[in-house]
Amino acid sequence: MALSWPLPLESFFEGLPIQKISCRLGRAETSSETGGGEVISHGMGTRLWRGRIVLDKEIHTYWAAIEAKLALLEQPGASLLLRDTRVNGTRFDPQLAILGTSNPQIANLAANNRELDLSGLPANYKIAAGDLLGFTYGATPTRYAYHRVVVGAEAGVTGIASDIEVIPFIRPGAQVGRPVTLGVPVLKARIANAEYGQSRARLSEGGSFEWTQTLR
Instruction: Identify the top-confidence range among 14-28, 94-108, 186-200.
Output: 94-108
- Number of Cα atoms under 13 Å in the Cβ half of residue 22: 12
- What are the pLDDT digits (tens) for 65-84? 999 999 999 999 999 999 99
- What are the pLDDT digits (tens) for 144-166? 999 999 999 999 999 999 999 99
Who wins on pLDDT, 186 or 204?
A: 186
Query: pLDDT at position 3, please?
Result: 86
Which pLDDT band holds residue 57 (cuts at 50, 70, 90)?
A: confident
Mean pLDDT of the chain: 92
Q: What's the pTM?
A: 0.90
The one-character DSSP state at 176 is: T
Mean pLDDT along residues 197-202 = 79
Q: How wide is the angle at C-alpha 177 spanned by C-alphas 158 and 183, nearest 5°?
A: 75
Question: Rg for the chain (alpha carbons), in Å?
Answer: 20
Position 34, amino acid: T
Which pLDDT band holds residue 203 (cuts at 50, 70, 90)?
A: confident
Q: Which of 117, 99, 79, 114 is CA-nearest to residue 215? A: 79
The one-character DSSP state at 159 is: S
Q: Which residues contact 120 (CB under 8 A, 6 or more apart)?
A: 102, 103, 104, 105, 159
**Phi and psi at residue 3, to the nearest 5°:** -70, 150
- What are the pLDDT digits (tens) for 98-124? 999 999 999 999 999 999 999 999 999
